[in-house]
Amino acid sequence: MFEVTTSLIEWFADPINWQGPNGIPTRVLEHIYYSVLAIVLAVAIAQPVGILIGHTGRGGALAINLTNAARAVPTFGVILLTFLVAGIGLAPVLVALVVLAIPSMVTNTYAGFRAVDRDVRDSAVGMGMTGWQVIRRVEIPVAMPLIMAGVRISAVQIVATATFAAVVSLGGLGRYIIDGLAQQDLPEVLAGAILVAALSLLTELGLSRLQRVVVSSGLQEESEEASMETRLEGTTG
Partner 1 sequence: MKFRERCLVLAIGVVSLLVVGCGGGQDALEEGGGGSGGFVVGSANFPEQLILGNMYADVVEDQGIEVDRRLNLGTRDVVFPSLESGEITLVPEYNGALLSYLSKGESDVTSPEETTKLLKEELPEGLIALEASEAQDKDALVVTQETAEKYDLKNTSDLAPVAEELIVGGPPEMSERPDGLPGLKRVYGIEFEEFKALDAGGPLTTEALENGDIDVGRFFSSQGLIDARGWIVLEDDKELSPAQNIIPIIRKQDNKGKIEDALNDLSATLTTEDLKKLNRRVEVDKEDPEEVARGYLKQKGLLK
- Give the interface with partner 1 as residue ranges (CB under 8 A): 80, 83-84, 87-88, 166-169, 175, 178-179, 181-183
End-to-end CA distance of the chain, in Å?
38
Pick the closer one to partner 1 by CB: 34 or 110: 34
Pick the closer one to partner 1 by CB: 106 or 189: 189
Pick the closer one to partner 1 by CB: 1 or 84: 84
Measured from the Cβ of residue 171, the count of other Cβ atoms closer than 10 Å reads: 18
Can you give the length of the chain in residues?
A: 237
Is residue 129 left, alpha or beta, with left meaning phi > 0 and alpha meaning psi from -120 to 50? beta
CB 229 → partner 1: shortest distance, Å?
42
CB 86 → partner 1: shortest distance, Å?
9
Q: How many CA atoms lie less than 13 Å away from 57 in the CB half-sphere? A: 7
CB 172 → partner 1: shortest distance, Å?
12
Pick the closer one to partner 1 by CB: 182 or 232: 182
CB 71 → partner 1: shortest distance, Å?
25
Of the candidates 69, 78, 70, 63, the one whose C-alpha atom is nearest the C-alpha of residue 108 is 63
> CB of 45 within 8 A of CB of 98?
yes
